[in-house]
Structure 1
């Protein structure tokens, strides 16, 4: 018989009791106990950091509590590894960045890195980026400004982010980098359509990510993918305003990792400047993107609803004429319907040096001004199944 009075016949009951005791003694660190004021004026970053360190080092499962209220915070780094699973509970809380860009010396406002089994529940993260978007200096030459993203997740694994909101980021809202097997649920991202470089989510160099029920309004790509993105599943996402869902641009830098296994399903685009897009630079570095699939997408007055652009060259910042060396293969667009804001609703501009391979379009119904739209193709011979409006070109 042990100290809980257990014997063999009571083993199951005692296991339950000990589990309950362990749960009740889990560390819950309230940032208010660390001096957070929650007045929206005082820098509560040190209190958040102190609470995080205790929660991270606490007996698992532990948590950091950010009670309802408004908290101002300068840039902070919440670093692991932690002793075990840890949760940040921020239901009803708003955390605000200072609006002045001069108060940032690095490219991230809230940096969370090197944590396994993290959960974040709730919270509104307000980057207060309005002044930054209006800065001609930062818009004209990014190298002269350290423009912070709202939330950077680096080397985060096996984690869940639910019921979170990111608004008015100075730069990208959420960057997920080198972080495997994570999940986002019920995500809201919001910034005006004229905000600058405010990608909703940027994803790169990871394997395994699920995003479900995301509502994104922003001034750049709603979701963008860099190299090394693998096995990403996005379901029930809305986009608009914004630049759409974008793979790339790819091929700008040497030794880029392949993009493989990107799936969009049950999404809606409204008033965006692009719909679903894959883009790579001409005269690019070698690269590859394959197994990219867009299914059951609704387009509402969208410019360029379906676009492969292997001649992507914004601001003439590249050598035009030389073909892209990024190989695109096994790409599908299925059950995409709605309205195009331009006559050309489907454009497949593939590389002359590496033509697109195994591109499929099925059950497309896109109209323009109440009538049929058109399509354009180069260096692509797509497979077409089911009814398609517009008729799909072959070149």
Structure 2
């Protein structure tokens, strides 16, 4: 009996030791304890930067915790260049609020900026960009700031964003630029359909980015894909309002990295300006788009469900030769169905210099006012298999 009791005490000691050790191995930084006020009025920027500095200096995994409440945050940069920490979790149970005066951050480029970080996770919370007044300024043609992207990651690796909401951003909601391996899950983006330049998620010069199970409604592209993007996976995204999911605009620069290995699947578009779009400037460029799969998509009253536009040139300015040099090839549209808000549901306007080739349509069924829609093709080569409605206009 005494032996059994001794064994139980030994197990209890070991359990307590390892449990306490694991807890001690995580450093916790509560922004309220560092001076942040949850009243939405007191500038809490210093407390957030202090929490970040402490988490970076720690050699243990660290959590920065934002309790419930509204926290006013000015433009803030969180740099990982000197971080010792292998992993920092930012858990947000409250709302971060941008200054109501857009001049405070409107010229800064970014509101919340992470650069050169590795292993950062942002979990939960709401980011309120308070962009309404700036949108009104822009729509009135006054001299206004460019506006700030709400949340930006630059030159970073192994990023995770889970369950985050972004509302009323001044400009882009989320930006992933020159990053490797970023996973965005359960993102909610909300801004009115007439809010200018409020792209939901913009990805460029990045590889290994995944966007899953998200709902995006905004005034520009739900997801926009810039030059140098590869191995991008987008799945189960509900888009609307907005301009759809767009590759581009590409080809502004004559020397520009291409876009390749992009998958957009099992997603829906409701009342959007476009469904899936590829858009390039009518300018000389060595850029390209290749190996793209659009699969299992539902269109509901979408103006341009499937569109390639290589003649992008607003107001016929800045397009010296009026011909796109971007080469588009190997794009597959598979199992796409629903309704178009315009008679032409499929439009391929490709470059005269570099015609689109390797376009595949497979099991596409799009209607207009419960009647078969139409298609339009210029300089587009490809094939159609299975049931394709509207009839393919691609040449072989």
For Structure 1 versus Structure 2, the TM-score category normalised by the shorter chain is: over 0.9
Q: Secondary structure at the match of 2:32?
A: helix
Contact 2:63 2:90 in 1 (8 A): yes
Q: 1:118 aligns with which of 117, 120, 125?
A: 120
Provide the rounded CA distance (Å) in 1 between the counterparts of 2:355 and 2:249: 17
* Superposed counterparts of 1:328-343, under 5 Å: 328-343=328-343
Q: Does 1:77 align with 2:82?
A: no
Q: Secondary structure at the match of 1:158?
A: strand
Contact 1:158 1:181 in 2 (8 A): yes
| Residue 86 of structure 1: aligned partner | 88
Post-superposition shift, 1:256?
1.1
**Distance of aligned partners of 1:310 and 1:64 in 2 relative to their CA distance in 1, 3 Å threshold:** same
Q: Secondary structure at the match of 2:331?
A: strand
Post-superposition shift, 1:357?
1.6
Contact 1:161 1:183 in 2 (8 A): yes
Provide the rounded CA distance (Å) in 1 between the counterparts of 2:116 and 2:270: 36
* Superposed counterparts of 1:183-194, under 5 Å: 183-194=183-194
**Alpha carbon RMSD of aligned pairs, Å?**
2.0
Contact 1:30 1:66 in 2 (8 A): yes
| Residue 97 of structure 1: aligned partner | 98
Q: Does 1:293 align with 2:296?
A: no
Contact 2:334 2:361 in 1 (8 A): yes
TM-score by length of 2: 0.92
| Residue 3 of structure 2: aligned partner | none
Contact 1:61 1:85 in 2 (8 A): yes
Post-superposition shift, 1:64?
0.5
Provide the rounded CA distance (Å) in 1 between the counterparts of 2:159 and 2:16: 26
| Residue 5 of structure 1: aligned partner | none
Provide the rounded CA distance (Å) in 2 between the counterparts of 1:320 and 1:277: 23
TM-score by length of 1: 0.92
Post-superposition shift, 1:336?
0.4
**Distance of aligned partners of 1:139 and 1:22 in 2 relative to their CA distance in 1, 3 Å threshold:** farther
Provide the rounded CA distance (Å) in 2 between the counterparts of 1:139 and 1:162: 37
Contact 1:207 1:230 in 2 (8 A): yes
Provide the rounded CA distance (Å) in 2 between the counterparts of 1:371 and 1:218: 29
| Residue 28 of structure 2: aligned partner | 28
Contact 1:112 1:154 in 2 (8 A): yes
Moved over 4 A (4+): 13-20, 137-141
Q: Secondary structure at the match of 2:274?
A: coil
Provide the rounded CA distance (Å) in 1 between the counterparts of 2:150 and 2:89: 19
Provide the rounded CA distance (Å) in 2 between the counterparts of 1:379 and 1:16: 71
**Distance of aligned partners of 1:59 and 1:139 in 2 relative to their CA distance in 1, 3 Å threshold:** farther
Provide the rounded CA distance (Å) in 1 between the counterparts of 2:304 and 2:381: 19
Post-superposition shift, 1:101?
1.6
Mind listing any 5+ residue stretches in structure 1 that lack a counterpart?
Answer: 1-9
Q: Does 1:213 align with 2:213?
A: yes
Provide the rounded CA distance (Å) in 2 between the counterparts of 1:327 and 1:145: 35
Contact 1:313 1:320 in 2 (8 A): no
Provide the rounded CA distance (Å) in 2 between the counterparts of 1:20 and 1:179: 36
Mind listing any 5+ residue stretches in structure 2 that lack a counterpart?
Answer: 1-9
Post-superposition shift, 1:285?
2.0
Contact 2:25 2:61 in 1 (8 A): no
| Residue 365 of structure 2: aligned partner | 365
| Residue 128 of structure 1: aligned partner | 130
Provide the rounded CA distance (Å) in 2 between the counterparts of 1:198 and 1:112: 19
